[in-house]
Amino acid sequence: MPALDARIQGPGFMSVGVSALPPVLQVACAHCGSRVARERVRAARDSFCCEGCEAVSGILRSRGLTGYYSLRERGGSLRRPAPAPQLDRSYAYLDDPAFRKLYASDAGEGALQMAFFAEGVHCAACVWLLEKLPEFVPGVRSVSLDLGSSTAVVRVPPSGSFAEAAREFHRLGYRPHPVRGTEQEELQARENRRMLIRVGLSGACTGNIMLLAFAVYGGADGSWARLFNWLSFVIFLPVLFHGAVPFYQEAWRALRRRQISIDVPIVLGIAVGAAASFANLLSGSGHVYFDSLSALVFLLLSSRYVMRRAQQGALHSTKLLHFLAPSVVRRKRVQAPPYEEISMDLLQPGDLIEVRPSEPVPIDGIVTSGRSHLNRALLTGESDPVAVGAGETVFAGTVNLDSVLEIRVQASGYATRLGAILRAIETGQGRKAPIVNLTDRISRYFVAVAVALAGAVFAWGAWSSGWQEGLNRALAMVIVTCPCALALATPLAMSVAIGRASRQGMLIKGADALERLASADSVYLDKTGTLTSGEFGVLEWSAAAGREREAERAALALEARSNHPVARAIVRHLSAKGAPEAGAIAEVHDFQERLGRGVSGRIGGVAYELRQAEPGASGTEVVLSAGGETIARIALGDQLREGAREAVERLRASGLEPAILSGDAEGPVARVAAALGIPADKTHARATPERKSELIRGEARALMVGDGANDAAALSSAYVGVAVHGGMEVSLRAADAYLARPGVGPVLELVTAARESMKVVRRNLAFSLVYNVIGGGAALLGWVDPLFAAVLMPLSALTVFVSSIAGTRTMRRALR
């Protein structure tokens, strides 16, 4: 029964009683929850948004795995589920020995393991489903899924098949992409573990020292007090010589660059505190501060660890988006079957590969057969499709639009034009000047003030109550003003912001990026793919009076028979308008398609022709004529995204002056600028990647938003760069933040989040300075003893912690 149960309470609420509801109501897909198109809604049964989801749901039911739905309802979700992809590949290349050598590793106990990025993993139910794989795929030993990075590690015996497991992943709706662990990641993981050990060790020591210190505060004296203090000292040693090491390293690094970072006053505090306490311990008189010092180290280490994990979480997801470039290609073979799937890594120059319509071109090469159009928007920013035929050179990073191309590989990977850009980004060419973050700016003054004050306290104490007392007060001053809360203020606030933003599909690469985002004052927007959809579409449709229906009918009938990008745009436009009544497409006689010119044919005895007009300033135009008489003119081009105008308006209102920076021709750029109300002097067309980069470098505080490879250099040299949804890997790497949602709308949200988190940082800094003033004042008057320090420090840390978690009201609204 549980299976049936799950079906009803799981996705059921969307489907039960659909027939009784008015047809306008939206129906959600029983598998993924997406909206179901009207014609797919079924009255009595579950409705699905696509074939893929229906197939997955069928598989789940037939294998008795419907527990997936009930779990998903209960478990809560990280992300929204997505419609399931259809099985369109064999994954045979996964079992190719050459591929295995690159991607698989020894899992011990005679098993091999391979890691996959599982696209679409989003909740506890996904964990359950994928980790159950060994139960119904014989030959798979185990699967373990890491939800945070959507990575599944599959283990099989050496004779087993990764392809079979991958096909099952795909069938269940998670498209798998093999990932190769890099050395850098391993180093990172090892560093994480080392850091966690420091945190844990410092925490344990702090707890034990506090117990002992508490006894002393509580009144233990004489030999007991001495024993407890000595024990505290012994337990403090691991903190001093292991836990706090990162601070020494950081402080040393800063000093060597002749800079002061926040680590310098921290190390000063720790060193003075430890030395003074040890001296007092030996002499048997005076205060020891081991408890406060180890608590300080523990709190600071924890906040840095949390910050590190939050940052890595954001970076991890971006990095894994590398499947934007296809990792698998179809290579032509001499024997049957004519094509085999192989990994990009194994492709050699001279190989022949096949690229189907709507697939990206994975390499640089020469077309050997086929004729098609390419969308080069991501590589160059051009919005109009470009025709290619045999003998012409094509580049990685373009997308094949209408028909199959066979291409001879000339260069792949880093050897391509795209690869060269990627390498330039990786090696840090055109990297921006580093900014000194707010905390470090403050700590410069902080050290000076603290040292000066300590000197003053010593002088005043020595004058009023003897040099011994003066020294004690000065030491207490340095210890109690050690900027614990100050050092916590930034990482806490920022890791909260980065974590929340990443749940909203805004991945921020680090604290630095957040600070830059908050202080940008102008925004440069790429046009193609950012402000516009990057796809060819109908912009304007003007038909002669009284002949509107005829024009639509004829255009649809003719263009439905063609594969040209213009034809496909027109068909898309008309079907979106609901033009084909009941799906009827008129019959065409004598249909003719002339390459690069247009199509013609006779419908109901009338000769119609759709002809491409001479390219004018405003882009592509198509003329429809009936018996020689023009009855409609259709303008085509790249369409402005929905909401782009409002988004740009809101950016302007928030103090970011918008400008356009595009690699496209003047015509389309001017059109978009006019629609958005951006003045001509803020509009730059035909900008090469170098020009973009140069222009943006000239702006002190410009936020650059882009998606393509041609934006990458500009994104990395801008004050702050944001890559938008649908962009290329190279632009993601170059940018400081990435938006997983399309369009420019989320840019404002991102900036708002950054500004609000900087407000929290400033508030935190203010709190911590207040505490330091209190501590400093108390030290001046000689009130500071270990108990005072032990209360003040956690209290200030707690204030900062609560302030960070609470955020601001605007931030809570923007990022829930």
**Residues with Cβ < 8 Å from 517, sequence gap 6 or more?**
508, 703, 720, 722, 736, 737, 750, 751, 754, 755
Distances 742 to 251, 495, 705, 706 between C-alpha atoms, Å: 42, 24, 12, 11
Nearest to 87, CA basis, from 164, 196, 193, 178: 164
Asked if residue 3 binds another protein (CB under 8 A), the reply is yes
* Closer residue to another protein (CB): 203 or 534: 203
Residue 369: count of CB within 10 angstroms of its CB: 14
Asked if residue 147 binds another protein (CB under 8 A), the reply is yes
**Sign of the CA dihedral with 214 first, then 220, 226, and 231 last:** negative
Candidates 122-130, 342-350, 444-452, 661-669 — which segment interacts with another protein by CB under 8 A? 122-130
Candidates 146-154, 628-636, 666-674, 779-787 — which segment interacts with another protein by CB under 8 A? 146-154
Candidates 128-136, 470-478, 504-512, 749-757 — which segment interacts with another protein by CB under 8 A? 128-136
Helix (H, G, I), strand (E, B) or coil at 48: coil
* Closer residue to another protein (CB): 224 or 783: 224
- Contact with another protein (CB under 8 A): which of 64, 110, 338, 466? 64
Asked if residue 579 binds another protein (CB under 8 A), the reply is no
Nearest to 146, CA basis, from 103, 189, 109: 189
* Closer residue to another protein (CB): 74 or 589: 74
Beta-sheet pairing, 720-723 with 702-706: parallel
d(CA 648, CA 816): 23
Mask for 78-107, x = binds another protein (CB under 8 A): x-----------------------------
Catalytic positions, written as ranges: 526
Backbone angles phi, psi at 129, to 5 degrees: -65, -50
Candidates 18-26, 80-88, 130-138, 284-292 — which segment interacts with another protein by CB under 8 A? 130-138
At closest approach, how far in Å is the CB of 165 from another protein? 19
Of 530-569, which residues contact another protein (CB under 8 A)? Answer: none
Candidates 70-78, 159-167, 573-581, 642-650 — which segment interacts with another protein by CB under 8 A? 70-78
d(CA 763, CA 465): 38
d(CA 310, CA 496): 8
* Closer residue to another protein (CB): 146 or 699: 146
Contacts of 282-289 with CB under 8 Å at 24 or more apart are 284/226, 286/472, 287/472, 287/476, 287/785, 287/786, 288/229, 288/232, 288/233, 288/786, 289/479, 289/786, 289/789
Asked if residue 128 binds another protein (CB under 8 A), the reply is yes
Q: How many residues does the chain have?
A: 816
Q: H-type helices in 631-665, by residue range?
A: 644-653
- Contact with another protein (CB under 8 A): which of 49, 127, 511, 704? 127
Of 305-324, which residues contact another protein (CB under 8 A)? Answer: 309
d(CA 564, CA 686): 25
> Which of 5-26 are b and which e, b meaning 16 or more Cβ less than 10 Å from the residue's Cβ?
ebbeebbbebbeebeeeeeeee
Candidates 73-81, 265-273, 353-361, 625-633 — which segment interacts with another protein by CB under 8 A? 73-81
Residue type at 163 in one-letter notation: A
At closest approach, how far in Å is the CB of 310 from another protein? 11
Asked if residue 145 binds another protein (CB under 8 A), the reply is yes
Q: H-type helices in 560-682, by residue range?
A: 565-577, 644-653, 666-676
d(CA 362, CA 326): 6
* Closer residue to another protein (CB): 73 or 341: 73
Asked if residue 124 binds another protein (CB under 8 A), the reply is yes
Asked if residue 352 binds another protein (CB under 8 A), the reply is no
Of 195-254, which residues contact another protein (CB under 8 A)? Answer: 196-197, 200-201, 204-205, 207-208, 211, 224, 231, 235
* Closer residue to another protein (CB): 244 or 374: 244
- Contact with another protein (CB under 8 A): which of 56, 60, 71, 790? 71
At closest approach, how far in Å is the CB of 204 from another protein? 4
The label of the residue with tokens 């749940």 reads 503
At closest approach, how far in Å is the CB of 189 from another protein? 6
Binding site for another protein (CB under 8 A): 2-3, 63-65, 67, 71, 74-75, 78, 123-124, 127-128, 131-132, 135, 145-148, 189, 192-193, 196-197, 200-201, 204-205, 207-208, 211, 224, 231, 235, 309
